[in-house]
Chains A and B, each alone.
Chain A
Amino acid sequence: MIQVHGLSKSFGQSADGVQVLRDVDFEVRDDEFVSILGPSGCGKTTLLRIIAGLVDHDTGSVRVEGREVSGPGPDRAVVFQQFSLLPWMTVSENIGFGLRLRGVARSEWSRRAHELTQLVGLRGFEGHYPRQLSGGMQQRVGLARALAVDPAILLMDEPFAALDEQTRFLMQEELLRIWQEARKTVVFVTHSMEEALILSDRILLLSGRPGRVKEYLDVPFGRPRSRSIAASAEFQRLREHLWEQLRQDQADEPEAVAS
């Protein structure tokens, strides 16, 4: 379980610093899929990085399984927007990277990497280097690398934002399938309302900068789920509702009005 209470974060010196998050409160239950949605610059990614332990917060508390987060830990793994694969390592070595750092024997990490290449649909590509793969395939490696260390919590930072639309749709379906097979607690940052609705159990809607919790929305669709729910009237209604909320924030932002 993830518990975030009274979390605030500013960047820069206090006088002319920028506050990106203010008094954020929410919880994520075990095995729950939660998306963080909000306008650009509302601190979505910062919030995720704070949970990952990659960035310190100013005030408030972030607890994972009851323990205060003070840095990265084996209970959490991050899937990055820019894939962040090591270009000198093969697919298999990239997937086994986290395990190698933990001192797992070669035979063991390589067996695990082999299993995961199957799970993410990359069989036959174990010996390829990242530059030989398409964006979608690279992100599959990123996902497999995170799954390899078997974390309780998967933190995904706009993982499909750098992909073209068709690949993004396919990856969303793949993620639904993989999540169904290997249940994890997932915190998923996205700027896409559709993506959040298709994937999540709940959506944490943040306001414009400084980000505050505007709404914590239950997504009523059952599991297992596919992208076909996007055609339903309920989906359209929720999408409209999210858009209304986001539009209010965009209208409050002077830059957004100007653009």
Chain B
Amino acid sequence: MSVTTARSDQHSLGRLGHPFRKVGRSTRGGRVVETGSLLAGVLIWEALGRLLQLPWLPPFSACVGALIELTREGLILPDLLDSIVALGQGFLGALVVSLALAFLMAEFELVNLAVGPYVYALFLLPSIALAPVFLALFGIDNATRIAVIFTYCVFYMTINFHTAFTQRNPDLVEMVSSYQASRWQRIWFLVVPMALPLVMATLRVGLGRAVKGMINGEQFIAVYGLGGLIQKFGGQFAADKVFGVILVIVALALMLDVVTRGLDRRWTRWAG
């Protein structure tokens, strides 16, 4: 009996559902809209660049040309790889620390009371304000850049992970305890899966913040990576080269987003 009921329920939901649901990211229509929007942006950029002839707004094609030239000269790839390594170190460090800290804050009220105020205070502090401290501490060194990346995302992720780990569904908590679950079973079977959608969303935004931290840190030190290149070309007023490097950063950020989105879809498939 219910077999048909469930299927017809799903059909009617599909028909009556949100009108934009059909143009989700994973659908063909969704991909067309997304690609179309990016193409339109590029075309507008190209047109404005050509029409306005402003020194700070070279056309898209000129920026791509500059990027190709820089790549040929061997200026982009080493710095790109250098930036990615630092990003990985800073972000993964922040991820481990924020997950552990948020978990301890969620499970032990004492930790929450003792550490919480620091986390919130440091989250509100603009992370770049700490860059001079790191510079004094580590000097013009890769460690300074990694520390800036770390602080850009660690407090934000801790606060969000803490929220994720403290979500409560009293009905499910009661169900789990009715089967005599131990504390660790409750965490593994209930707290962690329930937190996963918010953890994944936080991961995506956190990674974005890490990229921002990477560029700001590199600009601050002005020696390393893609941010260092931006500082260098900015000083030479070479707008096409600056935008060329920015294109690489945008492409890197988009690629990271595609990867985290893929993981998100895979791990939270149940949420529909």
User: Are A97 and B6 within 8 A (Cβ)?
Assistant: no
User: Are B178 and A72 within 8 A (Cβ)?
Assistant: yes
User: Are A131 and B272 within 8 A (Cβ)?
Assistant: yes
Of the stretches B76-84, B108-116, B142-150, B169-177, the one at the interface is B169-177
Query: How many angstroms between the C-alpha atoms of A125 and B5 in the bound complex?
Result: 13
User: Are A137 and B2 within 8 A (Cβ)?
Assistant: yes
User: Are B270 and A136 within 8 A (Cβ)?
Assistant: no
User: Are A134 and B2 within 8 A (Cβ)?
Assistant: yes
User: Are B6 and A86 within 8 A (Cβ)?
Assistant: no
Interface size class of A (residues with CB under 8 A): 35 or more
A15 CB–B CB distance under 8 Å: no
Nearest chain A residue, comparing its CB with the CB of B8:
A134
User: Are B180 and A73 within 8 A (Cβ)?
Assistant: yes
Query: How many angstroms between the C-alpha atoms of A131 and B13 in the bound complex?
Result: 12
Nearest CB of chain A from residue B187's CB, rounded to whole Å: 13
User: Are A98 and B2 within 8 A (Cβ)?
Assistant: no
Residues of A within 8 A of B3 (CB): 124-125
Of the stretches A76-84, A187-195, A247-255, the one at the interface is A76-84
Residues of B within 8 A of A52 (CB): 178
Residues of A within 8 A of B6 (CB): 132-134, 137
Query: How many angstroms between the C-alpha atoms of A231 and B155 in the bound complex?
Result: 67
Nearest CB of chain A from residue B264's CB, rounded to whole Å: 13
Residues of A within 8 A of B268 (CB): 88
Taken residue by residue from 170 to 214, chain B's Cβ proximity to chain A (1 for < 8 Å, 0 otherwise) reads as 011011011111000100011001101000000000000000000
User: Are B5 and A78 within 8 A (Cβ)?
Assistant: no
Taken residue by residue from 3 to 37, chain A's Cβ proximity to chain B (1 for < 8 Å, 0 otherwise) reads as 00000000000000000000000000000000000
User: Are A136 and B5 within 8 A (Cβ)?
Assistant: yes
B271 CB–A CB distance under 8 Å: yes
Taken residue by residue from 77 to 109, chain A's Cβ proximity to chain B (1 for < 8 Å, 0 otherwise) reads as 110101010111100000001101100000000
Residues of B within 8 A of A132 (CB): 6, 10
B73 CB–A CB distance under 8 Å: no
Taken residue by residue from 1 to 28, chain B's Cβ proximity to chain A (1 for < 8 Å, 0 otherwise) reads as 1110110011000000000000000000
Complex partner residue of B179 from A101, A129, A133, CB under 8 angstroms: A101
User: Are B270 and A87 within 8 A (Cβ)?
Assistant: yes
User: Are A82 and B171 within 8 A (Cβ)?
Assistant: yes
A74 CB–B CB distance under 8 Å: yes
Nearest chain A residue, comparing its CB with the CB of B179:
A98
Residues of A within 8 A of B178 (CB): 52-54, 72, 76-78
User: Are B2 and A136 within 8 A (Cβ)?
Assistant: yes
User: Are B180 and A74 within 8 A (Cβ)?
Assistant: yes
Query: How many angstroms between the C-alpha atoms of A129 and B270 in the bound complex?
Result: 6
Nearest chain A residue, comparing its CB with the CB of B271:
A87
Nearest CB of chain B from residue A161's CB, rounded to whole Å: 14
Which residues of B244-272 are within 8 A (CB) of A? 268-272
A167 CB–B CB distance under 8 Å: yes
User: Are A86 and B172 within 8 A (Cβ)?
Assistant: yes
Nearest CB of chain B from residue A126's CB, rounded to whole Å: 13
Nearest CB of chain B from residue A34's CB, rounded to whole Å: 19
A147 CB–B CB distance under 8 Å: no
Query: How many angstroms between the C-alpha atoms of A50 and B14 in the bound complex?
Result: 42
Nearest CB of chain B from residue A99's CB, rounded to whole Å: 9
Residues of A within 8 A of B2 (CB): 121, 133-134, 136-137, 140, 167, 170
A2 CB–B CB distance under 8 Å: no
Residues of A within 8 A of B172 (CB): 84, 86
Query: How many angstroms between the C-alpha atoms of A73 and B179 in the bound complex?
Result: 7
User: Are B171 and A72 within 8 A (Cβ)?
Assistant: no
User: Are B270 and A134 within 8 A (Cβ)?
Assistant: no
User: Are A54 and B174 within 8 A (Cβ)?
Assistant: yes
Complex partner residue of A101 from B180, B193, B269, B272, CB under 8 angstroms: B180
Nearest CB of chain B from residue A165's CB, rounded to whole Å: 13
Nearest chain A residue, comparing its CB with the CB of B174:
A54
Given contacts A132-B6, A134-B9, A137-B6, contact A84 B180 (CB under 8 A): no
Query: How many angstroms between the C-alpha atoms of A161 and B196 in the bound complex?
Result: 31
User: Are B179 and A72 within 8 A (Cβ)?
Assistant: yes
Query: How many angstroms between the C-alpha atoms of A101 and B196 in the bound complex?
Result: 21
Residues of A within 8 A of B177 (CB): 54, 72
Residues of A within 8 A of B5 (CB): 134, 136-137, 167
Nearest chain A residue, comparing its CB with the CB of B9:
A134
Nearest chain B residue, comparing its CB with the CB of A128:
B6
What are 30 A-B pairs with beta-carbon distances under 8 A?
Answer: A54-B174, A54-B178, A72-B178, A76-B178, A77-B178, A77-B179, A78-B175, A80-B175, A82-B171, A84-B175, A86-B172, A86-B189, A87-B271, A88-B196, A88-B268, A88-B270, A89-B270, A97-B189, A98-B179, A101-B180, A101-B189, A124-B3, A129-B272, A131-B270, A134-B2, A136-B1, A137-B2, A137-B6, A140-B2, A167-B5
What would 11 more interface pairs be, CB under 8 Å, given A101-B180, A129-B270? A54-B177, A72-B178, A76-B178, A78-B175, A86-B190, A87-B270, A88-B271, A101-B179, A131-B270, A131-B271, A136-B5
